[in-house]
């Protein structure tokens, strides 16, 4: 791989992760690492049918085995209350675990063995005898009727993702150029490195502590409090380090409830780690989608209409809509637009957010369709995008907060060598391979949710940041340290960032690519308030060399308040703290205070109601990018090899080019998996995901990943001032699958509309 490109001066310097050493030396404290005294282990038993009821459940043999403490089933488990699911809450399931004999999906937890050791629990779990009354399941997108999300109830209507402007049907009917195509994506899985785990213990009947790798400890705390009918503040959730989330840890899933129930019953700490195959049906996934795209255009290629219809599979209880239209609604200057979302409800686990939910499959459809339209119009696909470039948000009518999309196109095209692309497909042959280039637009909104942070200085002068926000591996520890460090004039490595603990101030969840911008503003605010207090102390404390100086003369440097004109004159933070007579100095900052009070406090942090969309302000704020790839297709085998990938991104100001580049490399790699290998294969007779493990669910491995180049073309975004940053995480995956499909078309002349791409399919 090449060295990272030179970044614009407005970006921060590449900063090595402050938590990196802890991670690579094994000191980072992941959920299942802890071994408290008197620990018991839980192992889950999953349903072997997808639809029906439990007829008999015999735990006699399991209970008689050495080391077994108890077996929890629906017959003896504590009763739990129902917690709200998205968007009213953070439960991953409308139904708490082990509450009735119904089986709603294959793998549903039907029993848990709790034992002295993991081995004893696992052995006994194999001896729990369950019989079922089975009803044939419906398990694939083709096995049920599609119903409009908007027709499923009031709440669904608001969340349906349906939208329209103008009159797309009339425009389409009279368009000289039209495209009508169906694109499909399979069920996909997060495949985070760290299997989901919970470690739970009760201090007494009213106080529960749960370690759980979570993207949202506020949400998890709320769900646990509801399930167990506890005061929210009596539940502590800890999520210091997380081995990847990708959406699978935003909601709290039933296994966590089972661990907490088990700890209550055996009156000991209980650790429950999902097996890799259990992860595949216990923590959500991206549902399979079918998208119909209709485009209408003038003969010149100028778009006149887009109709984007998305249908996805869902479970029977929740109304999870994978809104493909998120990728098309604001992407191009088109006056007439309609998006509709439908569901097919099936006997499958509840789907959930995964890696740019909506945008990832949606961008495959719209960006493939644009490539098809370009071929019809005999235009270069990049030309077609430029021809339809939107100078303002075509949907909200608002100006873009910033949009260096044309710069992204130009930088990406230059880096991949786009000028070498033949307009005619199947033009370039190298040995036994056909070679082609493809591109796609990438986009992801910048949203915000209320956040709080505390920044403080202890007596020894050490600076700390505290929040419930979580670092799921994306680099929040370092990003927040950079923000506090900038304000307080210290290197980031000197900031002690403490995250993922419900004892800290509340935070936006680590999802939707919005943690840095949301929580970052709170950290910036708290650090600024603290700096002002330090200035005041420096001016007021009689012993201070800065006594009676004016504020404008002061600045911070290396842990000291100094005279701007002569930094040798100054006073240490530590001296200011001890001079204040307090143990520490700290400051809290809360973003969106009016919104928080309107939503009456906790709801602002435990529901989606508080998320401010990209168009909530005066402008429309998205990150933008362009994906370019070169592929080589083996003529005899039909195998697709991606030779090069270039992503050029406008994510606003880049706080930490090193971490941002890594995130985008990761997102683009996920796009590679989505394009070429990732698919949950569902046996329609049994609803079994037959490849539900990392051996056969094929995420890209090192050998699959080509040279990837990440370019930054952004500038500080005014709408997120003073930070100037936009969303970084999820944009990386958007557009990649389409760019690869488009390159395969350019190489071979074959248009593939189904993921993962397979040239052997007809």
Q: What do you get for the CA distance between the two ends of the chain, in Å?
A: 36
357: contact with ligand MOS by CB under 6 A: yes
Q: Nearer to ligand MOS by C-beta: 189 or 745? A: 189
Q: How far is the CB of 509 from ligand MOS (least distance, A)?
A: 8
220: contact with ligand MOS by CB under 6 A: no
245: contact with ligand MOS by CB under 6 A: yes
Q: How far is the CB of 323 from ligand MOS (least distance, A)?
A: 13
Span of 352-360, 409-417, 558-566, 595-603 interacting with ligand MOS by CB under 6 A: 352-360
Span of 246-254, 382-390, 599-607, 613-621 interacting with ligand MOS by CB under 6 A: 246-254
Q: Which H or E element spans position 490?
A: none
Rounded Cα distance, 178 and 295, in Å: 5
Q: Nearer to ligand MOS by C-beta: 44 or 354? A: 354
Partners of 712 in the β-ladder? 649
Rounded Cα distance, 699 and 89, in Å: 30
What's phi and psi for 695, nearest 5 deg?
-70, -30
Sequence-separated (6 or more) residues with CB below 8 Å from residue 79: 99
Q: Nearer to ligand MOS by C-beta: 112 or 611? A: 611
Burial of 430 (0-12, 13-18, 19+ CB in 10 A): exposed
State the residue number with the nearest CB to ligand MOS. Answer: 247
61 part of the active site: no
Partners of 436 in the β-ladder? 631
From 17, 281, 290, 355, residue interacting with ligand MOS (rule: CB under 6 A): 355
Rounded Cα distance, 483 and 487, in Å: 7
Q: Nearer to ligand MOS by C-beta: 19 or 359? A: 359
Q: Is the dihedral of CA 588, 591, 593, 598 positive or negative?
A: negative
Q: Nearer to ligand MOS by C-beta: 328 or 663? A: 663
Span of 59-67, 107-115, 348-356, 411-419 interacting with ligand MOS by CB under 6 A: 348-356
Q: Could you say which residues in the range 505-534 bind ligand MOS, by CB under 6 A? A: 511-512
- Alpha helices, DSSP H, located in 269-346: 276-282
Q: Nearer to ligand MOS by C-beta: 228 or 353? A: 353
Q: Nearer to ligand MOS by C-beta: 46 or 511? A: 511
Span of 316-324, 350-358, 401-409, 625-633 interacting with ligand MOS by CB under 6 A: 350-358
740: contact with ligand MOS by CB under 6 A: no
Peptide bond before residue 110 is cis, with ω within 30 degrees of 0: no
Q: Nearer to ligand MOS by C-beta: 243 or 247? A: 247
- Check residue 244 and give left, alpha or beta (phi > 0: left; psi -120 to 50: alpha): left
Span of 244-252, 386-394, 671-679, 731-739 interacting with ligand MOS by CB under 6 A: 244-252
Other CB atoms within a 10 A radius of the CB of residue 383 amount to 13
Residue found by looking up tokens 């362009």 in the block: 626
**Total binding residues for ligand MOS by CB under 6 A?**
11
Q: How far is the CB of 185 from ligand MOS (least distance, A)?
A: 15
Span of 133-141, 354-362, 423-431, 435-443 interacting with ligand MOS by CB under 6 A: 354-362
Rounded Cα distance, 230 and 206, in Å: 6
Q: Nearer to ligand MOS by C-beta: 243 or 245? A: 245
Rounded Cα distance, 353 and 364, in Å: 17
Rounded Cα distance, 579 and 536, in Å: 12
Burial 59-87 (b: 16+ CB within 10 A, else e): beebeebebbbbbbbbeebbebeebebbe
Q: How far is the CB of 284 from ligand MOS (least distance, A)?
A: 9
Other CB atoms within a 10 A radius of the CB of residue 561 amount to 28
Span of 243-251, 394-402, 607-615, 641-649 interacting with ligand MOS by CB under 6 A: 243-251
From 86, 353, 400, 628, residue interacting with ligand MOS (rule: CB under 6 A): 353
**Cα–Cα distance list, 349 to 250, 345, 403 (Å):** 16, 10, 39
Peptide bond before residue 87 is cis, with ω within 30 degrees of 0: yes
361: contact with ligand MOS by CB under 6 A: no
Q: Could you say which residues in the range 297-336 bind ligand MOS, by CB under 6 A? A: none
Q: Nearer to ligand MOS by C-beta: 471 or 709? A: 471
**Cα–Cα distance list, 268 to 40, 71, 119, 125, 631 (Å):** 7, 14, 18, 19, 55
Q: How far is the CB of 531 from ligand MOS (least distance, A)?
A: 32
**Cα–Cα distance list, 247 to 213, 252, 472, 512, 642 (Å):** 12, 11, 10, 8, 26
Q: How far is the CB of 409 from ligand MOS (least distance, A)?
A: 26
The CA-based angle 229-235-241, given to 5 degrees, is 135
Q: How far is the CB of 398 from ligand MOS (least distance, A)?
A: 23
Q: Nearer to ligand MOS by C-beta: 353 or 434? A: 353
Binding mask 250-289 for ligand MOS (x = CB under 6 A): x---------------------------------------
Q: How far is the CB of 708 from ligand MOS (least distance, A)?
A: 21
Sequence-separated (6 or more) residues with CB below 8 Å from residue 699: 191, 670, 673, 677, 678
From 114, 354, 610, 725, residue interacting with ligand MOS (rule: CB under 6 A): 354
Burial 479-515 (b: 16+ CB within 10 A, else e): bbbbbbbbbbbbebebbbbbbbbbebbbbbbbbbbbb
Q: Nearer to ligand MOS by C-beta: 40 or 665? A: 665
From 137, 161, 219, 247, residue interacting with ligand MOS (rule: CB under 6 A): 247
Span of 6-14, 351-359, 578-586, 714-722 interacting with ligand MOS by CB under 6 A: 351-359
Q: How far is the CB of 517 from ligand MOS (least distance, A)?
A: 13
Q: Are 671 and 736 in contact (CB under 8 A)?
A: yes
Span of 261-269, 347-355, 411-419, 533-541 interacting with ligand MOS by CB under 6 A: 347-355
Rounded Cα distance, 243 and 212, in Å: 11
Q: Could you say which residues in the range 541-570 bind ligand MOS, by CB under 6 A? A: none
Q: How far is the CB of 474 from ligand MOS (least distance, A)?
A: 9
Distance of CA 50 to the CA centre of its chain: 28
Q: Nearer to ligand MOS by C-beta: 470 or 571? A: 470
**Marked catalytic residue, from 19, 309, 367, 730:** 730
Q: What is the DSSP letter of 191?
A: -
The CA-based angle 513-286-249, given to 5 degrees, is 55
673: contact with ligand MOS by CB under 6 A: no
Q: Could you say which residues in the range 188-217 bind ligand MOS, by CB under 6 A? A: 215
From 201, 246, 444, 712, residue interacting with ligand MOS (rule: CB under 6 A): 246
Sequence-separated (6 or more) residues with CB below 8 Å from residue 228: 78, 80, 81, 208, 235, 260, 264
Rounded Cα distance, 439 and 281, in Å: 34
Q: Which stretches of the chain bind ligand MOS, using CB under 6 A?
A: 215, 245-247, 250, 353-355, 357, 511-512
| Residues belonging to the active site | 730
């Amino acid at each position: 791989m090449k060295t990272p490109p030179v970044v614009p001066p407005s970006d921060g310097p590449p900063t090595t992760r402050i938590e990196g050493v802890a991670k690579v030396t094994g000191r980072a404290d992941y959920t299942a690492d802890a071994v408290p005294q008197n620990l018991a282990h839980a192992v889950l038993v999953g349903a072997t049918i997808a639809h029906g009821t439990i007829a008999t459940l015999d735990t006699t043999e399991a209970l008689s085995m050495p080391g077994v403490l108890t077996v929890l089933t629906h017959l003896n488990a504590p009763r739990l209350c129902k917690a709200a699911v998205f968007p009213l809450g953070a439960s991953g399931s409308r139904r708490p675990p082990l509450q009735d004999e119904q089986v709603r999906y294959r793998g549903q937890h039907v029993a848990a063995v709790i034992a002295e050791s993991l081995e004893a629990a696992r052995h006994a779990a194999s001896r729990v005898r369950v019989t079922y009354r089975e009803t044939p399941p419906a398990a694939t997108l083709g096995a049920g009727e599609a119903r409009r999300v908007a027709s499923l109830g009031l709440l669904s209507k608001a969340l349906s993702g349906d939208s329209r402007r103008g009159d797309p049907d009339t425009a389409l009917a009279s368009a000289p150029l039209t495209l009508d195509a169906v694109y499909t994506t399979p069920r996909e899985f997060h495949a985070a490195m760290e299997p989901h785990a919970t470690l739970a213990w009760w201090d007494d009947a009213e106080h529960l502590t749960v370690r759980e790798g979570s993207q949202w400890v506020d949400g998890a705390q709320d769900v646990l409090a509801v399930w167990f009918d506890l005061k929210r503040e009596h539940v502590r959730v800890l999520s210091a380090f997380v081995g990847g989330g990708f959406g699978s840890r935003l909601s709290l899933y039933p296994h966590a409830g089972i661990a907490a129930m088990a700890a209550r019953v055996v009156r000991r700490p209980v650790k429950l780690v999902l097996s890799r195959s259990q992860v595949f049906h216990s923590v959500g996934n991206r549902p399979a989608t079918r998208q119909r795209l209709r485009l209408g255009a003038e003969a010149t290629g100028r778009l006149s209409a887009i109709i984007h219809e998305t249908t996805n599979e869902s479970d029977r209880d929740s109304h999870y809509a994978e809104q493909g239209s998120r990728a098309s609604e604001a992407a191009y200057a088109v006056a007439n637009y309609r998006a509709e979302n439908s569901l097919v409800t099936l006997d499958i686990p509840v789907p959930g957010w995964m890696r740019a939910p909506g945008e990832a499959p949606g961008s495959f459809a719209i960006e493939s369709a644009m490539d098809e339209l370009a071929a019809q119009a005999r235009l270069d696909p990049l030309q077609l995008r430029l021809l339809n470039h939107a100078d303002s948000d075509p949907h909200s009518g608002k100006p873009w907060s910033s949009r260096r999309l044309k710069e992204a196109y130009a930088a990406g095209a230059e880096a991949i060598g786009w000028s070498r692309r033949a307009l005619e497909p199947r033009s370039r042959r190298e040995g036994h391979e056909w070679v082609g280039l493809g591109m796609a637009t990438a986009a992801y909104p910048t949203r915000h949710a209320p956040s709080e942070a505390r920044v403080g200085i202890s007596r020894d002068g050490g600076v700390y940041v505290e929040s419930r926000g979580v670092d799921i591996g994306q680099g929040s520890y370092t990003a927040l340290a950079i923000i506090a460090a900038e304000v307080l004039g210290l290197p980031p490595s000197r900031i002690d960032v403490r995250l993922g603990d419900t004892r800290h101030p509340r935070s936006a969840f680590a999802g939707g690519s919005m943690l840095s911008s949301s929580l970052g503003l709170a950290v910036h605010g708290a650090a600024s308030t603290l700096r002002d207090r330090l200035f005041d102390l420096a001016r007021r404390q009689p012993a201070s060399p800065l006594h009676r100086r004016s504020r404008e003369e002061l600045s911070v440097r290396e842990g000291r308040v100094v005279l701007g004109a002569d930094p040798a004159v100054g006073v240490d933070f530590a001296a200011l703290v001890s001079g204040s007579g307090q143990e520490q100095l700290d400051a809290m900052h809360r973003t969106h205070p009016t919104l928080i009070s309107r939503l009456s406090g906790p709801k602002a942090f435990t529901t989606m109601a508080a998320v401010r969309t990209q168009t909530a302000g005066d402008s429309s704020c998205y990150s933008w990018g362009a994906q370019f790839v070169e592929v080589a297709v083996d003529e005899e085998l039909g195998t697709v090899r991606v030779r090069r990938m270039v992503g050029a991104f406008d994510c606003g100001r880049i706080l930490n080019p090193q971490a941002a580049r890594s995130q985008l490399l990761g997102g683009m790699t996920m796009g590679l998996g989505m394009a070429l290998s990732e698919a949950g294969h569902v046996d329609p007779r049994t609803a079994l995901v037959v490849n539900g493990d990392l051996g056969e669910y094929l995420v890209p491995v090192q050998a699959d990943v080509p040279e990837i180049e990440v370019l930054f073309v952004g500038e500080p975004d005014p709408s997120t001032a003073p930070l100037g940053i936009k969303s970084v995480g999820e944009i990386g995956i958007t557009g990649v699958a389409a760019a690869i499909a488009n390159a395969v078309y350019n190489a071979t002349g074959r248009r593939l509309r189904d993921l993962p791409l397979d040239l052997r399919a007809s």
